[in-house]
Structure 1
Amino acid sequence: MNYRAIITDIEGTTSRISFVTDILFPYAKAHLPAFIQREQQQPAVAAELDAIRRLLGQPAASTDDCIAALLDWIAADKKLTPLKTLQGMVWQHGYQQGHFQGHIYPDAAAQLRHWQQQGIQLYVYSSGSVQAQQLLFQYSEAGDLRPLFSGYFDTRIGAKQEIASYAAILQHLQLPPNQVLFLSDVAAELDAAAKLGIATVQLIREQQAPSQHQRAENFYQIEVQ
């Protein structure tokens, strides 16, 4: 067992799914249009608007067209990098203004601290952008947890249900798969990781359908040594 690295998902794993669906998504939907209209000339925002045009196959799409596409993608919960990146920019304002704090289960915060103190490297892999991940942990209800993590992965490394994504992560970690543990509530993500020999645990936080993977109701039940 003795894992040298643990990779954790966020939604349904360290944090309530409803924090994203009931707080973050509506906030982004409400504030994204004005944010883009205001900041569209900023290089970081302009680059994401160009990426949206490429996804749409419409090089001449207007800013309003891009905003309409983003709102459609939010409604459909699309895991698209430009959307996730722009959402992260909007959420940063919300966190900094104190409009909300990042939810994290107390058992997750406690065990992440414990594992890091044991010398285990901790990583995050979520469909949300790296910026959004860091904001959630920086402004979490348990304080700034960013120092616990050695790195973050998002959709830039690949989709979470694709085996190639986990191969790329292993390449980055430079560890054999049997020394890496992946935590998620989604069976299809765990399936992809397990096919490479990565150890897996499925979190059953909110009545998720159980799978063949080892299961835990909280982080205290996860054995790492």
Structure 2
Amino acid sequence: MTAPLRVVIVDDHRMFRAGVRAELLEAASAGTPVEFVGEAGSVEEAVEVITRERPDVVLLDVHLPGGDGRGGADVARACAGVDSNAGEPVRMLALSVSDAAEDVVAVIRAGARGYVTKTISPDDLLRALERVAAGDAVFSPRLAGFVLDAFGAAAGEVAEVDEELDKLSAREREVMRLIARGYQYKEVAKELFISVKTVETHVSNVLRKLQLSNRHELTSWAMARRLL
């Protein structure tokens, strides 16, 4: 039997926390089991429950009372050295109504592994939690570009051409950029007017040509070359 994904929810609205729990439990009924091991409504409460429960992943709002006034970023920074019960680092997935660049960059700089907005569906949120718990980076479409600022990329700066990039066809480069930005396969297919199966083929080719293993490595590779 698959071990449940141990989750802590951090949000200052109790009704929202209850709603997320209910939606995720329903989404998880046919897939990966989820166990909610704690919740918090402030920075101090969050640090205490995360340190005590040592969850696999924390669903973290970026605007919280307490701490030094930086909200979710304070939580991520304070819990950076905490390991889960499984011995892996506790991962943080930011979940917010905000899609402002400063919010995205602040919480990612502090150590969060991903950032999604509250418009996300329960099924997609569950998949995002699974991926973040596994060590991947996850972003809502079009938010990943903000993360470039955290890596010091200047706006409009053009990446240098290198031999690895030259291995990719024009279409593979388009697919690579969208995947690295956090788009799902069906979103890439819609954006480029191709089938999901064709997207899967392109992604496999990109990973093989670049000798990468997963989307997280692809995102890091693209960020290092300022290709997003």
Relative to the length of structure 2, the TM-score reads 0.31
Q: Which structure is richer in relative contact order (CA contacts within 8 A, separation 6 or more)?
A: 1
Relative to the length of structure 1, the TM-score reads 0.31
